[in-house]
Amino acid sequence: MAFLSLEFRNLNDLLVQQLHDLYDAEQRLTEALPKMAEAATSSELKSAFNDHLRETQGHVRRLEQVFNQMGCEPKRETCMAIKGLIAEGDEMITAKGDDHVRDAGLIAAAQRVEHYEMAGYGSVRTFAQQLGMQEVASLLQKTLDEEGAADKKLTRIAEGFVNVSTPQGAPAGSQYAS
């Protein structure tokens, strides 16, 4: 796999590149979230994925607003990290076995995505602040807040429903067996 050779003349160049990466990530997630919702067996988890799909569509629009305010064209730069995280989510979607365990796996995959997005949005928000782009920073903070709320919601679902429903067995001879 060949990697793009990047050149950053200033912090604004880095900000724009990172925004293009996040724009691609959000677009990919609008395609992945419906599949995760369909695969989930917990109605609460299905609802969380569907709610986050609507938020993610809003994140795409918000990024377009950011690009507009910055005088940049919204474009996608392939986000290899999200491609990999979505592939991990696809493994959970097609996994066989106990439905509750698979739901727990779907949550784990989704939270990996949320954490990646929180790191990305936290970085671009900080870059925008350092560049004096307070309105852009404020928009990015809104998305960061929503990503954090989605992560907390997934944790609540995992702790309150899915994980307590999963079989607790461990293979005989395993360090985890009781």
Instruction: Name every residue whose Cβ is closer than 8 Å to that of residue 135 and which is 6 or more positions away in sequence.
Output: 69
**Domain holding 134: CATH number?**
1.20.1260.10
On whether residue 4 sits in a domain, the answer given is: no
pLDDT for 172: 43
- Answer yes or no: is 176 within a domain: no
pLDDT in tens, the chain (178 residues): 455 678 899 999 999 999 999 999 999 999 999 999 999 999 999 999 999 999 999 999 999 999 999 999 999 999 999 999 999 999 999 999 989 889 999 999 999 999 999 999 999 999 999 999 999 999 999 999 999 999 999 999 988 765 555 556 544 443 433 3
- DSSP states of 96-133 as a string? -S-HHHHHHHHHHHHHHHHHHHHHHHHHHHHHHHHTT-
Write down the pLDDT at residue 100: 87
Q: Give the position of tokens 């999200």.
A: 82
Q: For residue 77, give both structure tokens.
A: 């730069």
55 part of a folded domain: yes
pLDDT (0 to 100) of residue 177: 39
> Per the domain annotation, does 20 fall within a domain?
yes
pLDDT value at residue 6: 83
Note whether residue 172 is domain-resident. no
**119 contact partners, CB below 8 Å, separation of at least 6:** none
Q: Which residue has the tokens 């990646």?
A: 116
Number of domains in the chain: 1
Contact yes or no for 113/85 (Cβ under 8 A): yes
Please answer whether residues 37 and 56 qualify as being in contact, where contact means their C-beta atoms are separated by less than 8 angstroms.
no
Q: Is residue 167 part of a domain?
A: no
Q: Is 45 among the domain residues?
A: yes
Residue 153 located in a structural domain: yes
Cβ neighbours of residue 169 under 8 Å, at least 6 residues apart? none
State the residue range of the domain holding 34: 11-161
